[in-house]
Amino acid sequence: MHQSSYEKMQGFRDRHLAGREAEALRIVDLGSQDVNGSYRELFSGCAWTYVGADASAGRNVDVVLADPDNWRELSSRSADVLISGQALEHMPHPWIAMLEIRRVLVPGGLCCLLAPAGGPEHRYPVDCWRILSDGFAALADWADLEVVELATQWENRGHADGSDVWHDSLFVGRCPQRGGLASRRAGLRRWLKHRVLTWRNL
């Protein structure tokens, strides 16, 4: 957990969740394992419920996702907020992860995703991607998420731990609120996309 990442997640909380401390929000942290820090303290101490989810068991992991492309352990429409920092670059198929994020969010729910746009290779256990602002916009469009905020930190901010090197991209998205036929059609499109992409794992 580098300084730049923590600072951006704190900014998300302050800008988008301020005033909602009394709401019983369920916040899922994707890639939550505490390797060198976590976001848990940012989302504790109020009415919120923080759930750490990761591909392997460890400190700060409440739910282990057995299949990186099918999060059966997380129910549809079960998260009011989904956060993830420095995890998507380690996922071989982030476009599938985006479909799962969209599935897990409640209508109107928010996600905050952070991923590096630069920096050296850092396998854990693999390092597959760097994501720019336009990349996040494309992933959001693919997964049917509304763009709320989008930025890449290209400037150096003088972080003592040297984390400016990662040039983190930030994406804040919202799950659309639709009713009736429009909602069912959108859900079917996402289901078909996911099924086509994961048919070998069925």
Q: Say what the pLDDT of residue 180 is.
A: 83
Q: Is the predicted pLDDT of residue 40 greater than 90, yes or no?
A: yes
Alpha-carbon distance 2 to 85, whole Å?
10
Q: Is the predicted pLDDT of residue 179 greater than 90, yes or no?
A: no
How large is the average pLDDT for residues 108-130?
Answer: 95
Query: The domain spanning residue 140 has which CATH number?
Result: 3.40.50.150
Which amino acid is located at 105 in the chain? L
The DSSP annotation for 11-78 comes to: HHHHHHSTT-TTS--EEEEET---SS--SGGGG-SSS-EEEEEESS--TT-SEE-SBTTB-TTS-TT-
Contact 128, 89 (CB under 8 A): yes
Q: Give φ, ψ of 31 to 5 degrees.
A: 85, 45
Q: Output the average pLDDT for the chain.
A: 95
Query: Encoding tokens for residue 178?
Result: 């639709």
Contact 53, 32 (CB under 8 A): yes
Which amino acid is located at 34 in the chain? D
Q: Is the predicted pLDDT of residue 202 greater than 60, yes or no?
A: no
Q: Say what the pLDDT of residue 18 is.
A: 96
Which amino acid is located at 28 in the chain? V
Q: Which residue has the higher pLDDT, 185 or 15?
A: 15
Q: Is the predicted pLDDT of residue 77 greater than 90, yes or no?
A: yes
Count of structural domains within the chain = 1
Query: Encoding tokens for residue 73?
Result: 């352990």
* Residue linked to tokens 């992409």: 197
Per-residue pLDDT band for 94 (boundaries 50, 70, 90) equals: very high
How large is the average pLDDT for residues 63-84?
Answer: 96
Q: For residue 68, count CB atoms less than 10 angstroms from its CB and return exposed for 0-12, middle for 13-18, buried for 19 or more.
A: middle
Host domain of residue 66? 3-201
Alpha-carbon distance 22 to 103, whole Å?
25
Alpha-carbon distance 16 to 78, whole Å?
19
Q: Give φ, ψ of 181 to 5 degrees.
A: -65, -40
- Rounded to whole angstroms, the maximal C-alpha distance in the chain is 52
Cα torsion for 60, 172, 188, 52, to the nearest 10°?
0
